[in-house]
Amino acid sequence: MAKEIKVGVVGCGYWGPNLVRNFRALPDCQLKTVCDLSEQRLAHLKSIYPEVQGTTDFRQMLAGGGLDAVVIATAVSTHYPMARASLLAGKHTMIEKPMAGSSAECEDLIAIAKRKGLVLMVGHTFLYSPAVRKIKEIVSNGDIGEIRYISARRLNLGLFQKDINVTWDLSPHDISIILHIMGEQPLTINCCGSTHINANVEDITSMYMTFPSQKSAMIHSSWLDPRKIREMTIVGSKRMIVYDDVAPLEKIRVFDSRVERPPHYDTFAEFHYAYHYGDVYSPYIRQEEPLKTECQHFLDCIRQGIVPLSDGNQGLELVRILEASSESLKRGGAPMDLTVHLNGHKLNGNGWTRSLPPKAARLATARKAPGRVAAKKYAFPAELKRPGISFRLKKQADVRPQA
């Protein structure tokens, strides 16, 4: 039997209880401690999970909890100091999105995890969603042709934040999905927005990213919409996909629609666009909780020594985009060149790639605790490897920017 991994969760407000529920239910995992500044929140969780220890002291949790791993679901401003303390204490660490408040902080966490031989994972939950995995499969199989653009809307009334704007709060989900589907890094980014409720905190933003081969992506984020909308449209040269995460059924619909221009014409009268309207179908999607798959993947990475699908480098990549969006906001929506921040990231014929440093694909063997083994290679969690699902990776090449 696999050795039980002892996990502690810090942050029991909005998202933390979902992490607590999932880690407690997973096999070969002991949810040992929960940490929060609110005694009331701790008392509530203790009433549901009486066997779990509770504390308001994070340092005490690290020092005396006998933990193998720590999961951080606190305010973004606390992600870096808490994750740094966790890694320095020798704990495998999972951080909710976004990974930290700056790319410099992300780089420091990556360096510590590498030096200590620890798993560092970021909670990009939608990468573990069955719907997003199905979209990736459809796109990778070439069923919609070449991607032309992706548009996303993530809107609702609240929850208002005071330390980050709506882009940092809501768009990480859409950015992670778009990068996963595109398979390459954006070249430029524009972001504009407005403030209505909290001073100097944008509650409505629109982001526009350009990619190689004239592809683009747009993300509209808002805390001021009366309806909860979680929608993404992927427009291809052959077909189009509409992904509605709020829909109870048929979350994905594929439209056999496209527009073509005539190859040649002699007069304006001969010029006519060709519009094609075909069938609409909804592929079958297995119903499972993405967060459960994500939590299990974190444990698998610790136990098997594999690098997570959403590792620190991917977290860094996303924070760099958020930083550029903030700079664009300050400059009134001016375009920001993302290629200058890619640290040697080069474009070749197959997409954005980089060669790994000599030991970057390995986690140094530290001690015979759970997961202190050499990393093998980037791998998808076991739950994602099912018949009929092909991720079409070329030798599982690392397509993440160098930290």
Q: Where are the domains of the chain?
A: 5-125+290-311+346-384, 127-281
Look up the CATH architecture of domain 5-125+290-311+346-384.
3-Layer(aba) Sandwich (3.40)
What whole-number distance in Å separates Cα of residue 321 and Cα of residue 26? 33
Residue 247, class by beta-carbon neighbours within 10 Å (0-12 exposed, 13-18 middle, 19+ buried)?
A: middle
What whole-number distance in Å separates Cα of residue 113 and Cα of residue 115? 5
pLDDT per residue as tens, the chain (403 positions): 468 999 999 999 989 999 999 999 999 999 999 999 999 999 999 999 999 999 999 999 999 879 999 999 999 999 999 999 999 999 999 999 999 999 999 999 999 999 999 999 999 999 999 999 999 999 999 999 999 999 999 999 988 888 899 999 999 999 999 999 999 999 999 999 999 999 899 999 999 999 999 999 999 999 999 999 999 999 999 999 999 999 988 999 999 876 666 666 666 555 556 666 768 899 999 889 999 999 999 999 999 999 999 999 999 999 999 999 999 999 999 999 998 754 433 322 223 333 333 333 333 333 334 443 333 444 445 444 433 333 333 333 333 333 3
CA torsion angle for 116, 119, 122, 124 (degrees, to 10)? 160
What whole-number distance in Å separates Cα of residue 205 and Cα of residue 218? 11
Residues contacting residue 330 through CB under 8 Å, at least 6 positions apart: none
Q: How many CB atoms lie within 10 A of CB 208?
A: 20
DSSP state of 263: S
For residue 67, which phi and psi values (nearest 5 degrees)?
-90, 150
Q: Do 5-125+290-311+346-384 and 127-281 fold alike per CATH? A: no
Read off the pTM.
0.81
For the CA atoms of the chain, what is the radius of gyration? 22
Q: Minimal CA–CA distance to 134: which of 14, 277, 280, 285? A: 285
**Which of these CATH numbers, 3.30.360.10, 3.20.20.140, 3.40.640.10, 3.30.365.10, describes 127-281?**
3.30.360.10
